[in-house]
Structure 1
Amino acid sequence: MRRLGCEGIEWRRVHPPLERVRVVAHTCECLATVFELCGRGGAYLIRRTTRGPGGPVVEESPAIPAKAAEDLWFRLLRGRAR
């Protein structure tokens, strides 16, 4: 759940996702919004897929170094980033 004062993530809509990535971690597929921590060419990004009546909407964060992506991923999972 989102916490008060959480950090905003800059999401960019991609249709379809432009490049193949390696999924390192992901949230549960049972929810309408799924997050994936993805690796691509030495950089990492977070992909957000929101499923709705109009079909899925895929958005990605900017690519960042591994340590920064890992920190962002854990803040996202704890509701400190959205």
Structure 2
Amino acid sequence: MTQSRPVGSTSSSGKRTTPTTFYRQIVAELRKVVWPTQQQLITYFLVVLVFVLVVMTIVSLLDLAFGRLVFKVFG
């Protein structure tokens, strides 16, 4: 039976990674990332902003409606 290790606990050679090596690996992985362009970033921001505003409006209207209903029933 083979022993299993937690994922990411040690490298494949069984030795711990030094902080310097860890930092270099992070930088190498971040260089692989495809960063959004400024136009994409603006578009994503506006989509998220509109979505949040719509959800806030729906939640606010439901809160107002339920509040009035509670005051009519118990008030």
User: Counting strand residues as a fraction of each chain, which structure ranks higher?
Assistant: 1
Bigger-Rg structure (1/2)? 2
Query: TM-score band (shorter)?
Result: under 0.3
TM-score (structure 2 length as normaliser): 0.23
User: Counting helix residues as a fraction of each chain, which structure ranks higher?
Assistant: 2
TM-score (structure 1 length as normaliser): 0.21
Q: Which has the higher contact order (CA 8 A, sep 6+)?
A: 1
